Structure 1
């Protein structure tokens, strides 16, 4: 299964027999990972120049967003050029792309894989063998008669098994989204209606921490929660270092904690609602496919048991 990066919801679906291919810093990186997974012993890169040309263009003349699409967006840098004798103009993102490629090439060498850079321009990608494409073809493709293992299509029963498995997991996630949207709404309402003294704020902070941890126990929600939760931790860290001298100041500090938590849970509530709506909209295609395969009664049973 090709996914842009290691998305947690893809792992939640747990389609283990297919495994996952990810590492898409760029299309080239993902293509490289696919080639590694296919166990090729020689991999040729071409077109990975990662540099501006002499006219300052970032893309070819026929590029749909104009050849200077990225020329004015980044501060210019210089790095060692292809051939190792001159410097080429580049920018931060391309240098990062190059560094990731170099790391991947070094790891590939541990498995006896040779990587060739046939771009004949742009930046030098350390660890790759610089060689013109024509020579790569001449030297590496001497024997064009290769045997390949035939790929077999999954049986109808196995396909249906995986479709049903994914359907069950998504239905469970839809239920979890609804469960926590209701739970968060109830918790915020209860806090807003309370008269908060020092002891109550301590209890509420503890309850909010428990609710946050409860959310993180559900693997289907982790991907959605991580960015906002990281921001919450940063905000709470700023409050936690406030020095208090008496109970009145401690109460104000606790109220700041609670305000941050409420803002976080309101954001989470909105995200969960959007995720639920998206799942409800897009699960229709999966449900229709299962109905075509004769699993209408099975679908109804699944919905009854989960929902």
Structure 2
């Protein structure tokens, strides 16, 4: 199952996997409102000034909900919207109802008010049994399990990052444009990246695949420039992993504080 690049994409993929034919979308603005704000404040989860970060990203104008004019979004939200559209287009048998009633227009959805879509989809009333609250002991076990997974991911990504730094230093000191020794170093590192479990996610894999693509094309079309292209890739890789490692480290510390470790 496609886990998506975030919780929203995963939720829709999960609903599809469970066999639901009606999926209601709500709160997917993917755009700024008239006062320049959007979404709930998620700074507590991202450990950064989220509003500042979103406004620093490249902005664009896109079609608004209901195709009524245009709204301003940023490049990250626009990519989020496009990937949603690919997911929805890929499942024509599922009705995706966009009940956000604002924000950016999302293609391959049926735009409808939330109250109206609930009336449309309601069935006979069912009794729901709410699950019991998790005991404190069970909560701690789950938190510890999550912490262990985070620490394992951090260790793997940090190892790759350190390796990339060493390779970058070697390649930047390379006097010849490209040679067999440099190629061996590059191909060995590429193999490590391909096998790294943390880089198999929907978020990392396409990003680094396309970045490395410039090197692969250059290697056959313009070998003299191939080294420069791979150095550029390593710089991108290090910048992204640095941000990821910082976020993961903050998360690890938060979990440790909660668990009093």
Query: What TM bracket, shorter-length normalisation?
Result: 0.5 to 0.7
| TM-score w.r.t. length of structure 2 | 0.57
- Look at both structures and tell me which one has the larger radius of gyration over its CA atoms: 1
Q: Which residue of 2 aligns with 1:6?
A: 4
8 Å CA contact 1:180–1:269 kept in 2: the answer is no
Q: Are 1:107 and 2:94 an aligned pair?
A: yes
Q: Which residue of 2 aligns with 1:73?
A: 61
Q: Are 1:241 and 2:227 an aligned pair?
A: no
Q: Secondary structure at the match of 1:23?
A: helix
Query: How much does 1:197 deviate?
Result: 8.5
Equivalent of 1:171, from 151, 165, 178? 151
Q: Which residue of 1 aligns with 2:51?
A: none
8 Å CA contact 2:215–2:229 kept in 1: the answer is yes
Q: Which residue of 2 aligns with 1:279?
A: 248
Q: Which residue of 2 aligns with 1:218?
A: 196
**Count, aligned residues:** 219
How many angstroms apart in 1 are the aligned matches of 2:86 and 2:68? 16
How many angstroms apart in 1 are the aligned matches of 2:228 and 2:252? 36
Query: How much does 1:273 deviate?
Result: 2.4
Backbone CA RMSD of aligned residues = 5.1
8 Å CA contact 1:163–1:286 kept in 2: the answer is yes
Q: Secondary structure at the match of 1:153?
A: coil
Q: Which residue of 1 aligns with 2:127?
A: 147
Q: Are 1:207 and 2:185 an aligned pair?
A: yes
Q: Are 1:23 and 2:21 an aligned pair?
A: no
Q: Are 1:289 and 2:258 an aligned pair?
A: yes
8 Å CA contact 2:26–2:99 kept in 1: the answer is yes
| Deviations 1:176-231 (CA, angstroms, capped at 9, x unpaired) | 33323332232233344455497xx1231122121122023222244446414312
What are the ranges of 5 or more consecutive residues in structure 2 without an aligned counterpart? 38-59, 71-77
Q: Secondary structure at the match of 2:127?
A: coil
Q: Are 1:190 and 2:177 an aligned pair?
A: no
Q: Which residue of 1 aligns with 2:43?
A: none
Q: Aligned runs of 1:32-51 on 2, under 5 Å?
A: none
How many angstroms apart in 1 are the aligned matches of 2:249 and 2:117? 54
Q: Are 1:266 and 2:232 an aligned pair?
A: no
What are the ranges of 5 or more consecutive residues in structure 1 without an aligned counterpart? 11-20, 25-29, 49-57, 67-71, 82-87, 109-114, 243-252, 297-307
8 Å CA contact 2:143–2:255 kept in 1: the answer is yes
8 Å CA contact 1:106–1:127 kept in 2: the answer is no
Distance 1:187 1:151, change over 3 A: same
